[in-house]
Amino acid sequence: MGYARDLVTLTKPRITMTVLITAAAGMKLAQRFLGGAPPTGGRWLWTLLGTALVVGSANALNMWLERDVDRHMARTRSRPLPDGRLPSPVALVFGLLLGLVSLPMLWFGVNPVTAMLGAFALFSYVCVYTPLKLRWVRAMWIGAIPGAIPPLLGFSAVTGHIDQAGLALFAILFVWQIPHFLAITVFRAEDYARAGLKVIPVEMGDRVTDGMMLRYSVGLLAVTVWPFLLGLGGKIYLGVAVALGAAFVGLVARSFRQNLASVEGGRARWARSVFAYSIVYIVVLLATLVLAAA
């Protein structure tokens, strides 16, 4: 097998699969919003394959750039590059090759708008967000931009442009990423500090982190109403979105209602529960939106 397994690892398959789900949701909702014929099988293939390769390229190049940082973190030190299983030039060439293949695939197989969105996501994640993580605590917001683009890739693949419905999906993914990522940085704070990465809990403390998570979870509840106002999903979606969002806010607010630090490991367990719920939240929310809009 040679380097095959390690090259696949560079693409972060689980993250790539999550991205493909959000891109597919964008395609389904675009078809519903337009009320036209569903995309052809070829359009689905080129969109999802091109998206997977763009994401794989971004992840591989991210791992190549952070290979020294990853050696200092428990959750990343066993990756192929810091562990020494894969030569760094191989990873660099692999990441660049995926990008060089994916963008023409999206341009000619889908449309120029989708290709340009993919190029922007790739560039901003690799060339802007990744290096800023070591320098600026607010790099998180920059990283949330390419992280929220996948549903726009799916939406624009069908429509050929960006409109309010696509922007609503982008807004939901953007806002959702903030409490989701902050939860990770809470229970991985020692790892991030050891690696020298600038994150809110390490640089600004618990109260600032908790307040930010609460504000963004409330904002998430508000922004999930946008698709309903555009005629997507109907009352079923709205009810599920409000219930999921209220539960998210309540879970985050536990940090203010209880002295989590007084119990050994209490704060880390709370952050892990927020992180786990955030994953369930986004999957159920998007699935409900797609099914309710069908």
- Give me the pLDDT at residue 163, please: 86
- Give me the pLDDT at residue 262, please: 47
DSSP state letters, 51-78: HHHHHHHHHHHHHHHTHHHHTT-TTTTT
First and final C-alpha spacing in the chain: 43
Nearest to 285 by CA among 225, 229, 212, 231: 225
Centroid of chain to Cα 243: 22
Q: Please state, in angstroms and rounded to a whole number, the distance separating the CA atoms of residues 220 and 177.
A: 10
> Domain limits of the chain?
1-162, 164-294
Q: Cβ contacts of residue 44 below 8 Å, gap of 6+?
A: 24, 27
CATH class entry, domain 1-162: mainly alpha
Q: CB burial class (10 A; 0-12, 13-18, 19+) of residue 17?
A: exposed
Q: Please state, in angstroms and rounded to a whole number, the distance separating the CA atoms of residues 167 and 73.
A: 35
pTM: 0.92
CA distances from 155 to 7, 34, 43, 52, 241 (A): 29, 10, 12, 15, 20
Mean pLDDT, each 10-residue run in order, the chain (294 residues): 85 92 91 72 92 96 94 89 92 96 96 96 96 92 95 93 91 97 93 90 91 96 95 90 97 78 71 95 94 78
Q: Please state, in angstroms and rounded to a whole number, the distance separating the CA atoms of residues 232 and 235.
A: 9
